[in-house]
A and B are shown apart, each in its own frame.
Chain A
């Protein structure tokens, strides 16, 4: 293995941008953060949802958001930052209105995900982990998103875009760029990354009833069973 030397590799993107102190956090946000804390037996358990809420309000993990979480939980800002930088969904810098994910874990990559990522990157004119200058799109290489029977898979604001092709991806990005209505293949109408983050924090947006119960692949076994008249055995005699 010639040519490899040990190197410590801490990309600058690993840290939270503390220079930008802008924030939208107000009394309402603080009240909602406390509401999250009240849901758990122990306060600190609310930290992950709280950080999701901070992102939805500030568009990133902001210094003010870190401060607010620390104060409410009675822990240090270092403890909050330590958690915020561990998880990949927390944004250390402002991003676009829409978060575009392309799965390139082995199976999706092999089936076309690698090419898909290249296409999307070309079309948007940005590299992975960058945001378009108009603030509309951020692009991320995502890891296996538990939709392998719909590979290759993309996500928009963490909604599934199943069975992607270059044509579908092109159409999707055009529609989002023009603010046309886009619906996830197994989810709701696309809103924005920030609105998605608010749901993840634990504040429902009333869209649970949108979308199908299941995708076609999810129903593969039941459809084969129905066609063959196969069922689970009859129950035991009632005792």
Chain B
């Protein structure tokens, strides 16, 4: 039985100049590369498979299995693309990792690229995080200078180049096939699957796309063994992971724990909901994962636990909202986000998110009419599952789950504005002037 918290990825975040090669090496960094390069790619893949590591970016697909789908008899080059387009509302774990310890990712990339016989790897970082680019660019340069990247890494005969790439403001590029189109210099719009990226990804070549945290977990697995990793967490959700606590809590932040810890435990450790308030609703893994309530405080935060509660573990972005918060307002604001970020390729999403926002604005303003809840749910039925990617599914998920748990608040939207039921200034962390109570997000294009 492991300890309540198990810092591995976060262990070096507070050390002096933790982002430098020197500090990373002083903490034992790059030992795993040497170890991995002495084994065959298939052996490395086998270790990651045995560890039970599953994707930390939201979908939870087994990482080692993803790697094994790359057809090695395909004559095209193989590519590794790290998805650092962290943009899912509530999600904030990869950015601090890259700021504090970019070498953890680089080490993971070297090992992962080696495992799939890849010689060119990319990190696709969202554009809006300037300092992350600086740290990552410098870390890659340091790694080249130290012979950890480039030709004949550590005398092993293995070559790898890493390209640090900046996005330009598009949530959809966190979707793996949209990310690939974006990386090819196109508008970032999802592709129809199959073919899956493992077969025809970047430049129509076999491509593995993994989240930052997934790849960053690989060095520790190689160093400590598959059984070590699998020894943490629950039966089918192995290992440690980073939970991101935010919102109306006493102490928000990043907490690395074995899979399966509960929100109650995390809140107890961190001082709970902000003083004088109580939990109303929360997301387990970003705004695209159906919301939960206080009745779910003891459900294990792992893939199976969350699926059992009718939601998803997602990115483990625990956004906490207290009793002052209007669920209608929050749902509207999330949908304004999805409307703005819909890439426009698929009609149900492009038009549907627009209509959801219109209707939700009526609910917020207290001018919805009898039957609009049914209309809202009917629209959700016609939007979800009808597009190339899951963006619209996320938009729908927050609506349907909000109605499921807080239907009466939507009914109140037939008569009363949300800001009267839940005066918005009570949710803010600082005193707010009255005129500011009724601002609604425009979500208009820049």
A residues touching B (Cβ–Cβ < 8 Å)? 1-2, 4, 11, 13-14, 39-42, 44-49, 51-52, 73, 82-83, 86-90, 101, 104-107, 109-112, 114-115, 117-119, 128-129, 140-152, 155, 157-160, 165-166, 184, 186-188, 196, 199-202, 204-205, 207-209, 211, 213-225, 228, 230-233, 235-236, 239
Contact = CB atoms under 8 A, between A and B. Distances in A.
Contacts of B362: 1
B193 interface: no
Interface string B259-286: 0000000000110000000000000000
A222 B96 CA distance: 13
Contact of A199 (B10, B130, B430): B130
B126 A146 contact: yes
A13 B171 CA distance: 20
A236 B381 CA distance: 49
B185 interface: yes
A232 B19 contact: no
Given A150-B252, A221-B5, 18 more contacts: A11-B445, A48-B167, A83-B187, A86-B188, A87-B127, A106-B334, A112-B429, A118-B439, A140-B446, A149-B245, A200-B130, A204-B141, A208-B131, A218-B100, A218-B253, A220-B252, A230-B3, A233-B6
A228 B5 contact: yes
A230 B244 contact: no
B134 A115 contact: no
Given A106-B334, A230-B4, A233-B232, A220 B128 contact: no
B287 interface: yes
Contacts, number: 336
B182 interface: yes
A151 B252 CA distance: 9
Pairs A-B, 4 closest by C-beta atoms: A220-B253, A47-B185, A221-B255, A236-B225
A4 B133 CA distance: 44
B185 A46 contact: yes
Contacts of A107: 89-90, 246-247, 319, 321
A218 B128 contact: no
B81 to A, nearest CB: 11
B430 A165 contact: yes
Nearest to B367: A3
Nearest to A86: B187
B256 interface: yes
Contacts of A87: 127, 167-170, 188
B302 interface: no
| Residue among A49, A211, A214 facing the most chain B CB atoms (10 A cut-off) | A214
B54 interface: no
Contacts of B255: 220-221, 224
Contact of A83 (B2, B185, B243, B375): B185
Given A86-B170, A222-B10, A230-B3, A236 B227 contact: yes
A152 to B, nearest CB: 7
B90 A144 contact: yes
20 contacts: A48-B165, A87-B169, A89-B167, A106-B89, A106-B333, A107-B319, A110-B247, A110-B321, A111-B427, A115-B430, A149-B253, A188-B134, A199-B133, A214-B100, A222-B10, A222-B14, A228-B3, A232-B6, A232-B220, A236-B224
Nearest to A42: B203
Contacts of B416: none
A166 B244 contact: no
Nearest to A45: B185
B7 A148 contact: no
Given A187-B130, A231-B6, A148 B99 contact: no
B247 A217 contact: no
A207 B99 CA distance: 13
Contacts of B188: 86-87
Given A48-B167, A202-B166, A213-B100, A118 B128 contact: no
A145 B85 CA distance: 10
A1 B340 CA distance: 21
Contacts of B19: 208-209, 213
Contacts of A13: 445-446
B87 interface: yes
Contact of B87 (A143, A184, A205): A143
Nearest to B172: A86
Interface in B221-264: 223-225, 227-228, 231-232, 240, 242-248, 251-257
B170 A88 contact: yes
B185 A184 contact: no
B91 interface: yes
Given A144-B90, A220-B270, A52 B436 contact: no
Contact of A115 (B95, B166, B436): B436
Nearest to A92: B446
Contacts of A88: 168-170, 445-446
Contacts of B319: 106-107, 148
A146 B127 contact: no
A86 B184 CA distance: 14
B59 interface: no
A104 B138 CA distance: 31
